[in-house]
Amino acid sequence: MRLSQMLWVTLREDPAEAELPSHKLLLRAGYIRRIGSGLYAYLPLMWRVLQKISAIVREEMDATGAQECLLTQLQPAELWQESGRWDTYTKAEGIMFAMTDRANREVGLGPTHEEVITAIARDAIRSYRQLPQHLYQIQTKFRDEIRPRFGLMRGREFIMKDGYSFHVNEESLKETYYAMDRAYRKMFDRCGLKFRAVEADSGAIGGSGSQEFMVLAEAGEDDILFTEDGRYAANVEKAVSIPPEAVASHFDKFEKLHTPKANTIESVCKMLKCSPTQVVKQVLYQVTYDNGMAVLVLVSIRGDRDVNEVKLQNELVKVAANYGGKAVINLQVADAESQQKWAHSQLPLGYIAPDLADSYIDQVKDFAPKFLRLADRTVAELHNFVTGANEADYHVVGANWAKEFPLPTVVNLDKAQAGDRALHDPTQILQTARGIEVGHIFQLGTKYSQAMKATFTNEQGEELPLVMGCYGLGVSRLAQAAVEQSHDKDGIIWNKAIAPYHVIVTVPNIADTKQIEVAESLYHALQVAKIEVLLDDRDERAGVKFKDADLVGIPYRVVTGKAIADGKVEIVNRATKVATLVAIANVVEYLQQELS
């Protein structure tokens, strides 16, 4: 392609709308253009990158026997009502765009396709002899994000590969799940990405096991915990660990102490000269279920630990039936500000005890008619601990479970953190990194097939729900993550596997007919050799062309400059910036070698 004929405009200045380097670079280098909030047009160069990633994804998916299809983007509400997700997706969380058509039927714009594919499987699959099956598609998805940002990272329209598999049992599901794990690793390797596969929380999609694929990058939104030995990596939301041991308590007598203004762990520890590991801290939540029921949840956790709210949410969903609900739609921690909103009582925040007195509970009955106590496993084994006295400016010390306070239901709610020991080998200490989630594979089990009555008949003639897996990969997000991982101050550095073009031939001076002649003949020869080549034949200064070439990030730049007098051109490697003089006659061979 000749740049003089391509619709391509680069920007000198960083666009105000962008924060992340990758977002800035994709806008500046003319890859994408903003059409509206969270909406980006993929201009010709970007489309080539996306097509290359898609081609890699297709090859690896097809190699596993998965079948490509294309499902509808508009999805009838009835399907989502069957799975029970319509209200959660369109109202409670509101991430699904929904509308009413001219016949007054509700339809949503697909953020994901479990319902549609399960409806198809329910019709098409009757017998174990038809199983396993795995269908996938590469398609634009939609999410009405609360705060669309970071360009293609969190847009309202984005391209995904999503696959769905159907099985007779968990064993068959696991086979496909592990095949997908291998296929995903191949795809990311082929795209030239540094990544980690991590244990993940299954979130709203549901299911038992799930794994995320994180492209490592400083600006990543996700925290990863991992061990040096490479045997453990997990999203912080999902990570498990052995917390440091608690320091033995020196309070051997239960008593109430005056601790004025010591309403933080730090201040109370300082005042009482104790370790945070000796303190039982209470965190109070107001939880709202999907049926509108509000529950006050009091979590007791060790003073040095934080609550992992994803784990908490999962625990709360488990007991949802007790409150007539199914899903948690809101989780709000009681701090000075939020307390004003949903509790006018004088709750002594910072001094609450594990058995928050009934008098306080009565005060908030209107806001949270139900009350639930949970204890993190980190407090279950504590003796003679310090905790609140249910009275402002007072703590108790030397407390013990069953003696002064009943031990609430013990669950695992603490957030793993760097410095914790690993479960698989306590000599391994967890370390932290940041990543961008580009893939997520799930063992769904029978969540959707049961809800939607998608069954098959097994060899014994029994009718059973299909066992399902689902496998997502963010194609447009991967493209930007690649830029986030690989760029320098001058611009993008594409891996040759996903670069829009392999080579850019830059003519420093188009008024020089000799330069043009060499460039045109190389442009032709490279095309014949199936090397994807751009020709910068624009009427611009050499400096502008070099800057643009760096910005756009094509792996190799061929410059038909002064050296042509000696029968040579300069070939610059974009990543290393190393320039090599190569005889004109050897350029094709040289680049074939480099690109192979």
Instruction: Please report, as ranges, the residues that interact with a second copy according to CB under 8 A.
Output: 1, 4-9, 33, 35-37, 39-44, 46-48, 50, 65, 67-76, 79, 94, 97-99, 101-103, 105, 107, 109, 116, 119-121, 123-125, 129-130, 133, 135, 140, 142, 144, 146, 156-157, 539
CB of 559 to a second copy, least distance (A): 23
String of DSSP letters for 393-423? TEEEEEE-BTTTB---EEE--BPP-TTPBPS
Distance CA 150, CA 17 (A): 9
CB of 74 to a second copy, least distance (A): 6
* CB nearer to a second copy: pick between 109 and 452: 109
CB of 52 to a second copy, least distance (A): 13
* CB nearer to a second copy: pick between 131 and 518: 131
All residues at 6 or more sequence positions from 362 whose CB lies less than 8 Å from its CB, including other chains: none
Measured N-to-C along each axis, helices 44-63 and 475-485 cross at an angle, to the nearest 10 degrees, of 110
Distance CA 209, CA 191 (A): 26
* CB nearer to a second copy: pick between 107 and 233: 107
CB of 538 to a second copy, least distance (A): 9
* CB nearer to a second copy: pick between 103 and 402: 103
Contacts of the segment 536-542: beta carbons below 8 A, 24+ positions apart: 536/3, 536/504, 536/505, 536/506, 536/507, 537/2, 537/3, 537/4, 537/507, 537/510, 538/3, 538/4, 538/510, 539/4, 539/510, 542/506, 542/508, 542/509
What is the total residue count of the chain?
A: 596
* CB nearer to a second copy: pick between 72 and 409: 72
* CB nearer to a second copy: pick between 40 and 150: 40
CB of 115 to a second copy, least distance (A): 10
Which letter does DSSP use for residue 593 in this model?
H
* CB nearer to a second copy: pick between 8 and 351: 8
* CB nearer to a second copy: pick between 336 and 528: 528
Distance CA 487, CA 493 (A): 5
* CB nearer to a second copy: pick between 33 and 547: 33
Q: Closest by alpha carbon to 165, among 153, 184, 179, 146?
A: 179
CB of 145 to a second copy, least distance (A): 8
CB of 132 to a second copy, least distance (A): 9
SS3 at position 98: strand
Q: Closest by alpha carbon to 356, among 400, 306, 300?
A: 300
Is residue 507 a contact partner of residue 519, using CB atoms and an 8 Å limit?
yes
Q: Closest by alpha carbon to 190, among 478, 476, 503?
A: 478
The token pair at 129 is: 């002899």
SS3 at position 14: coil
CB of 9 to a second copy, least distance (A): 5
All residues at 6 or more sequence positions from 483 whose CB lies less than 8 Å from its CB, including other chains: 21, 22, 25, 26, 492, 494, 553
CB of 179 to a second copy, least distance (A): 14
Helix (H) or strand (E) holding 197: strand 195-199
